[in-house]
Amino acid sequence: MLLSSVAVVAGFILLVWGADRFVLGASATARNFGISPLIVGLTIVGFGTSAPEMLVSGMAAYQGSPGISIGNALGSNITNIALVLGITALVVPMTVRSGILKRELPILLLVMVLALLLMVDGDLGRGDGLFLLLGMFLMIFWVIRLGLRERDTGDVMSSEFDAEIPEGMPTWRAIVWLIVGMVILFASSHILVWGAVNIARAFGVSDLIIGLTIIAIGTSLPELAASVMSALKNEHELAIGNIIGSNMFNILGVMALPGLIYPSVVPDGVLSRDYPVMIGLTIVLFLMAYGFRGREGKINRIEGGLLLAAYCGYMFWLYQASV
């Protein structure tokens, strides 16, 4: 048990560091090749913050624990909105002015509904996984087109990405960090899943609950760090954009992996508890961030506290379900 606990803690630490190095290397490389900061931010940074979830879910499915994979995808989305944005809004109340974000939020809801329709039969098979993976590539294509159309319109996200993406890093160094980040992500995901599965079996907790809680919180640490730091720099759109982009990648990319690698039935509780919570929180985020009647969207400290309270309530619900 001690060795498994050490593996989980070490896996989380390496996972966060590896994701940071991967994003640094990938974004610097893309910028050096002349890709605009807005395109880099909307694609590479969004994908990079979901890299921990993808590697962990892929490794868990490969090792025969699809419950961890599905729980990680749904749990990370719930954690990103309720815990990460809740904490971020408590630290710095956020204002949403970006037209890009207001286009992405309805797409995120649509993606969640489509994925739900695939799972409503109680199975997550290879056909479902292929459909979700195709959806991920279509989403990337749509985001690139959106970024190309909006990069010259002065959208506030463009300047925020421009300030954050490293400039002047030699290409060879950026490629080295890209490779190092990928290797660390792969190794740390293997260590983390091994430790988490051992702990789950020792306590008699289901793989799904482990994925929804410990794994989801751990793999959401990059989003928490990125969102809080962005908000402290007054880059509110970047803080919320990281969450929206990561959640879309989680549904389409992360959820596709258990279907492709280890087709299985959808665990009990996913369709009746976890999925409705995820969609409900996404609708709440939409109402908070969109802004109506010409007003700017806002997530203030009271709303941040409500999101955090909702997350605590959800954790208690999971606890009740596991005892």
Q: For the chain, what's the residue count? A: 323
- Using one digit for the tens of pLDDT, what is the confidence trace for 190-246? 888 888 878 877 888 888 998 999 888 888 877 787 778 777 877 777 777 778 888
pLDDT band (50, 70, 90) for residue 256: very high
Which residues touch 306 (CB under 8 Å, ≥6 apart)?
86
Residue 138 in tokens: 């279509």
Cβ 250 vs Cβ 52: under 8 Å: no
pLDDT of res. 120: 93
How are the residues of the chain apportioned to helix, strand and coil, as percentages rounded to the nearest 5?
Answer: 80, 5, 15
Give the pair of three-digit tokens for residue 27.
Answer: 């974004």
Q: At what angle do helices 301-322 and 275-290 cross, to 10 degrees?
A: 180
**CATH code for the structural domain at 2-322:** 1.20.1420.30
274 pLDDT more than 90: yes
* Residue entry with tokens 């190092």: 180
Residue 37 has pLDDT above 70, yes or no: no
**Residue 155 confidence class, pLDDT cut points 50, 70, 90:** low
Q: How confident is the model at residue 309 (pLDDT cuts 50, 70, 90)?
A: very high
What pLDDT was estimated at residue 86? 93
H-type helices in the chain, by residue range?
Answer: 2-32, 37-40, 46-62, 66-78, 85-91, 99-119, 126-150, 156-164, 171-203, 207-210, 216-219, 221-232, 236-249, 256-261, 275-290, 301-322
- 93-117, pLDDT tens digit by residue? 888 776 656 677 888 899 999 999 9
CB 41: neighbour CB atoms within 10 A? Answer: 26
User: What tokens does 92 get?
Assistant: 């710095």
Confidence band of 323 (pLDDT split at 50, 70, 90): confident
Residue 308 pLDDT > 90: yes
Strand-strand pairing, 94-96 and 123-124: unpaired
pLDDT level of residue 157 (50, 70, 90 thresholds): low
Predicted confidence (pLDDT) at residue 144 exceeds the cutoff of 90: no
**Closest by Cα among 322, 223, 239, 273 to 70:** 273
At 94 the pLDDT is 84
Query: Residue 121: its pLDDT value, please?
Result: 92
So what's the pLDDT on residue 286? 86
Q: Is 305 exposed, middle or buried (0-12, 13-18, 19+ CB in 10 A)?
A: middle
Q: How confident is the model at residue 185 (pLDDT cuts 50, 70, 90)?
A: confident
Rg (CA), the chain: 19
Distances (CA, A) of 104 to 116, 177, 199, 246: 18, 30, 37, 12
Task: Give domain limits for the chain.
Answer: 2-322
